[in-house]
Structure 1
């Protein structure tokens, strides 16, 4: 509190995430004071749903065709690197939206990268087991 004025603003990325805000005394010799607050459980329980591109169901033929139809010489003529990149990126994202469907991952699958398939997971698991087994014998 500074001369009777309290800053009562706590920033978070979700509404209702923070509650029970209290002032908890001075911070050393400073005129600033510590604040205590609780993160509310109900707001944290929401499962995050990650949307990823589903490359297994992608139509790469159409993707190649859509990008091949763009008259790149005319589209990029007289443009700088930054502007050319933005034009290319715009065409690429539009083609991606049309040709590569998305899928929702939640729970356990949301924690691993999209490229991490069962075969790679098995190899990683095997390496971890071999490492653990090797460290026991030392």
Structure 2
């Protein structure tokens, strides 16, 4: 089952392992952005930054069915606690094709949006570098 690999990679803060589990055409559905982000480079860059923004991150529950998996987590953004869920869908190779994240409460989601927004230019730059390294 692929989920423990993703969970273990996130818990270890192992960006290379997380990225290796993403399909080339993975879609990331952010809890704070209106449009989805598509492609391994941008999703990897987002993951690299969010693991720095989240403090005291821990998965607390795992659910799964034939359609995919859900990993419930708790974390802090600054002094605000939040609960969230990673919803994962996989292809037949076990690679993540869709990663949707939801978080609550609203105040913590707003803090997450502000923290990630402040990093957005760096995220885009990192994605371009990752895309360039994938091409070689």
Q: How high is the TM-score relative to the length of structure 2?
A: 0.23
More strand by share: 2
Q: How high is the TM-score relative to the length of structure 1?
A: 0.23
Between Structure 1 and Structure 2, whose CA radius of gyration is higher?
A: 1
